[in-house]
Structure 1
């Protein structure tokens, strides 16, 4: 065999080996690419799931915060309305006819006399003449004197002579007691 034939045979053998190496390399590259694409898809899916979870969490937090703000605003509005109702109720009691106040003051003075035998009666400026009239006309109240006017919407405040005991029978005190005990019912009626 000649040198040329050996060279050709070596060339052919080299070409075949190159082709085999190239084919093997292509197969390895394709396998690496497939693995990389699979891992990229897994990473992408994991990232999308994490982003969805984070978005849902943020959305839930924002909705909760918004609900809290709305609830706070509603409660503040309800409190303002209840305060207005309380003030209007107190004003309405103060605006009742003089006959009502005279009867109420008479009943309150008799009630106070059961606890304090002698003392000073304080009332608002409007009711001082009525209290003086009641005290002058009722023998069981002879131990009472009229004191300085006080800033109350109605009713009386009775203080014992020694100053140790004081009874607050003002309309505001009675309304506050009723208001506290019936606040839930009033709220249910107003805001149901």
Structure 2
């Protein structure tokens, strides 16, 4: 074997080894690129999922907020409607006249009378416009007198110094009691849509 043949064999072997190293490098580079692309795809999918979750969460929060706001507005509208009804009832009660006003005032006075002894002196207060009516009704009660006016829709406030008893039988107090006792039913009747 000549030196030239040996040199050619070494060169051939070196070229083959270089080709093998280049192929291994290309293969490894392909693997690295594939791994990087897979990782990039995984990160992209992960971020898309995160963004989708965030969008869904924000959408749900916005929807919940809008529902709450609508519910609050609906409740406020109901409160306003109930307040209007209450004001109209107060106006109707304040506007009672004649026999109906006398009948109701008499009933409230009689109910209050049950709380006092016969020998007590009793002061009765009422609406300024009802002074004449109250004075007339009180003529049937020994020791009872009209003592002054109170800001109310009608009815009576009855007090006795001797027993320190005070009975509030005004139309206002009766209305508030009836209103509280029947508010749910009234609300259901006014707003039967729910």
TM over 0.5: yes
Query: Would you identify which runs of 4 or more consecutive aligned residues in structure 1 move more than 6 Å?
Result: none
5+ residue gaps in structure 1? none
Report the 3-state secondary structure (helix = DSSP H, G, I; strand = E; otherwise coil) of the residue aligned with 1:145.
strand
Q: Give the match for residue 17 of structure 1.
A: 17
Q: 1:181 maps to which residue?
A: 181
- Contact 2:109 2:155 (C-alpha < 8 Å) held by counterparts: no
Match of 1:75 in 2: 75
- Partners of 2:20 and 2:189 lie apart in 1 by 91
Shift of 1:160: 1.1
Shift of 1:163: 6.6
Structure 2 CA distance, aligned partners of 1:127 and 1:142?
Answer: 20
- Does residue 1:42 correspond to 2:45, yes or no? no
Which residue is equivalent to 1:124?
A: 127
| C-alpha distance in 1 between matches for 2:132 and 2:81 | 35
> What's the secondary structure of 2:148's corresponding residue?
coil
Cα pair 2:108 2:170 within 8 Å, conserved: no
Report the Cα distance in structure 2 between the residues aligned to 1:77 and 1:2, rounded to whole angstroms: 110
CA distance in structure 2 between the aligned counterparts of 1:188 and 1:108, rounded to whole angstroms: 30
- Count of residues paired in the alignment: 189
Q: TM-score, normalised by structure 2?
A: 0.89
- Counterpart CA distance in 1 for 2:25 and 2:174 is 97
| Secondary structure, counterpart of 2:162 in structure 1 | coil
Q: 1:81 Cα shift?
A: 1.6
Aligned partners of 1:124 and 1:156: how far apart in 2? 8
Q: How much is the aligned-residue C-alpha RMSD, in angstroms?
A: 1.7
CA contact (8 A) 2:124 2:156 kept: yes
Please show how residues 1-192 of structure 1 align to structure 2 within 5 Å: 1-116=1-116, 117=118, 118-136=121-139, 138=140, 141-162=141-162, 164-192=164-192
Q: How many Å separate the matches in 2 of 1:162 and 1:83? A: 40
